[in-house]
Amino acid sequence: MAVLAQVAAAKAEMDATATVDNANLVANTTYLHGVSLADFGITCGNLAGVTLWAPVQNECDLGTLANNIDQTLFMDEVYVNSLEFSYTTGANATENYGAETDQKKWLLNDGRFINWEEFAYATISGGSFTCASGVNVATLTDGSLGFLRTSTDGASAVSFYDASEGTMTNVAVVSGTSAAASTFVFDASTDTMYMPTGVTPATGDKVFALFAADNYTTAMGNRYFEAVTDVNRPATIGALRQGQVEVYLVSATDVAYANAWRLTGVTITSDLTREPLAELGHLGPYDRPLTMPIPIAVTIDTTAGDLEHWSKFAARYTEYAANTLIDIDLADLMSNDDMKLVVKVFAQTDEEAGGTGANRTIAVNSDLIGKAYFNDGTKGTYAAAGEQEYALKSIVVEHLKITDEAYTLDMGTNATQTFGFRSTNDLFVVKGDVSISLVQDGIGRA
């Protein structure tokens, strides 16, 4: 999600305790790694959209580890325009993103291999560096070099990250044998890339080259169709089941998490509507700004039981718990506009962990022992069985207002209830666990 939202590189590493310098979110004075909906609308310092590509293996090599690519689909300036998080019983959890773009091409023959290379300050500080070693960069149909990023003038480009400014810019690249002003120069005969004259790289600066070639570079390797072995297989989980997801409905007066029981499904959706801005002289839009505010819809499905959920939604749970609540009115539901939804995703199921919430513990011989965790932005390491397990990530939606409620009772089936809510802008995804006190303080972009 951080990649799709183009969270700034300095704040997207997420591998150390969160601080003012490396964190993207903050609650009161506590910094958190994570992503907010607002990140999808920020263009300052970012490239226009993200880049996606998909290599297609030759049919005769289907099921093998060969990197014999038949063609590659390439799309640049891809803008996310919708998201949906769905957590239900009886099925794996899903998170889906929709996107749009005007740029789509297929690369084949001598350009079917897409390579990605990154060059840090130590490499580029001398003013020139080796790029595309051992392969031939393709010449596209229009005669331009096969560097696939595009400058503002529509020329082939590489990306330059200026650490001091925190900006990523596509800078044109042309063929040549020596450096030139305002453009990168690539010498195919020596695989040398020259920095623009007058540009002196500083510590933290980087160059990113994305290019089509007749093969993969040695550094790139065959990363698309290699075997998923125990060495490079993603750790711990491959899919989320109902025992790994906990849902909390937090009211303004809550001081501790209380699991929302009997829930069968929670769906969070948001349409990130974008307006294509066009101008004379350019075929494609020059920008796709996000329309604000961003609407958020939440649907909660539950097997009908007592009125605990109703009392929470109506901000009258204290009376309900004390057995003094006499009635709940629709006006109570409509007047409560500060409900928060918190979804926590865990590595273990509740049976492995031996409980839920704060009672979740690391099982004996668990793969989590020795692995890192984050709790309120602070990094730690599970040392032994019996320690509390913390969430892999927490999704927080603030300022929910109820929009609809339905009670369904049919012959032969259990009664069900469905609640609909809306909010705007305030959706945050936090790496690791987050305490209720921080949720109550409210989360924002750092």
Residue 239's DSSP bridge partners are none
Confidence category of residue 311, pLDDT binned at 50, 70, 90: confident
Note the pLDDT tens digit of each residue in 200-237: 999 999 999 999 999 999 887 777 777 766 666 666 66
Mean pLDDT of the chain, nearest integer: 91
The confidence score (pLDDT) of residue 320 equals 87
Residue 380 has pLDDT above 90, yes or no: yes
For residue 83, the number of C-alpha atoms closer than 13 Å in the C-beta half-sphere is 20
The confidence score (pLDDT) of residue 372 equals 94
- At residue 255, φ and ψ (nearest 5 deg) are -120, 0
Q: Are 148 and 74 in contact (CB under 8 A)?
A: yes
**C-alpha–C-alpha distance, residues 412 and 417, integer Å:** 16
- The closest of 104, 107, 105, 82 to 95, measured between CA atoms, is 82
Note the pLDDT tens digit of each residue in 89-141: 989 999 999 999 988 999 999 999 999 999 999 999 999 999 999 999 999 99
The confidence score (pLDDT) of residue 63 equals 79
**C-alpha–C-alpha distance, residues 187 and 174, integer Å:** 9
For residue 12, the number of C-alpha atoms closer than 13 Å in the C-beta half-sphere is 14
The confidence score (pLDDT) of residue 235 equals 64
Enter the tokens of residue 12: 């997207």
The confidence score (pLDDT) of residue 231 equals 60
Share of residues in the chain with pLDDT > 90 (%): 65
Confidence category of residue 238, pLDDT binned at 50, 70, 90: confident
* Mean pLDDT calculated for residue range 26-54: 91
Q: Are 166 and 154 in contact (CB under 8 A)?
A: no
Residue 315 has pLDDT above 90, yes or no: no
Cα dihedral sign, 428-429-431-432: positive
Considering the entire predicted model, what is its pTM?
A: 0.90
The confidence score (pLDDT) of residue 237 equals 64
* Mean pLDDT calculated for residue range 412-429: 92
